[in-house]
Amino acid sequence: MITKNKLKNPIFCIVAMNENRIIGDGKKLLWHLPGDLKRLKKITMGSPLIMGRKTWDSIGRPLPGRANIVLTNSISWRAEGAIVVNSFEDAIFRADQWIDLNWKIDQKIVQKKIFLFGGAEIYKIGLKYCDNIEMTKVNFNLKAGIKFPKLNETDWEKTKLQHNLATNDVPEHSFWHYRRIV
Ligand SMILES: NC(=O)c1ccc[n+]([C@@H]2O[C@H](COP(=O)([O-])OP(=O)(O)OC[C@H]3O[C@@H](n4cnc5c(N)ncnc54)[C@H](OP(=O)(O)O)[C@@H]3O)[C@@H](O)[C@H]2O)c1
């Protein structure tokens, strides 16, 4: 069993959601935020990502410069560029292994942290191991969809990092850092 105090590398969560905690429709994201994608790339570059098979399918390719660790219940599912695992424990093991191996090769690029990359099923499993969330809050009016788990608001110190007003095609959104305090 994994316990948080025994993690070799910390797990950070990264997510974009609307005011109703909606993160997607099950197949894709519901918005296109070029600035958020740039931020996501910068934050996660050089780290392993742990994602569910449905999130992998929604992206459709490996994200370069990062380990793409994909959780599935299938023992035969394969995809080029994906490190396939059948348990969250194994996902962490493979992420630590990737960091160790790549750290020896390039310490300038590799970050000693793992990202919980979604979707909702994977957030639900992994959030308890995270003390930090890189959150994008999107002003997007929608009540139904795939939801991020409900956080206990008093457990987190919240820092607003940047606010972006709406432009023609891009809804208003803001970048936040959540740090667990209890
Ligand atoms: N806004 C954001 O920040 C963000 C981030 C990521 C994803 N998303 C969105 O979220 C949606 C997908 O989320 P989702 O919750 O439907 O799916 P998901 O979490 O991406 O993937 C679920 C799949 O992961 C596998 N899985 C889950 N738990 C497992 C376990 N304990 N052991 C082994 N495999 C396990 C299963 O794959 P198998 O069915 O193959 O067994 C399951 O069907 C999409 O719309 C995507 O665009 C949004």
Examine the domain organization and report whether 125 and 170 are in the same domain: no
Examine the domain organization and report whether 114 and 135 are in the same domain: no
Which segments of the chain have a pLDDT < 50? Answer: none
Can you name the residues that pair with 14 across neighbouring β-strands?
A: 134
CA of 53 to the centre of ligand 1 (A): 5
CA of 82 to the centre of ligand 1 (A): 14
The answer to whether the CB of 73 is under 6 A from ligand 1 is: yes
DSSP 125-141: HHGGGEEEEEEEEE---
Q: What is the pLDDT of residue 150?
A: 98
**Among 18, 66, 72, 147, residue to substitute to test ligand 1 (most atoms within 8 Å of Cβ):** 72
Q: How far apart are CA 118 and CA 181, in angstroms?
A: 22
Domain span at residue 171 reads: 131-182
Examine the domain organization and report whether 144 and 165 are in the same domain: yes
Give the number of the atom of ligand 1 that is nearest the alpha carbon of residue 74. Answer: 41
Examine the domain organization and report whether 79 and 140 are in the same domain: no
Identify the CATH number of the domain in which residue 101 sits: 3.40.430.10
Examine the domain organization and report whether 137 and 69 are in the same domain: no
Q: Is residue 9 in a domain?
A: no
Model confidence, pTM: 0.98
Give the number of the atom of ligand 1 that is nearest the alpha carbon of residue 23. Answer: 1
Examine the domain organization and report whether 116 and 139 are in the same domain: no
Q: What is the pLDDT of residue 1?
A: 84
Question: Which pairs with CB-CB distance under 8 Å and at least 24 residues apart come from 153-159?
Answer: 154/182, 155/180, 155/181, 155/182, 156/180, 156/181, 157/181
pLDDT, tens digit, 9 for 90 and up, residues 136-149: 999 999 999 999 99
Give the number of the atom of ligand 1 that is nearest the alpha carbon of residue 72. Answer: 34
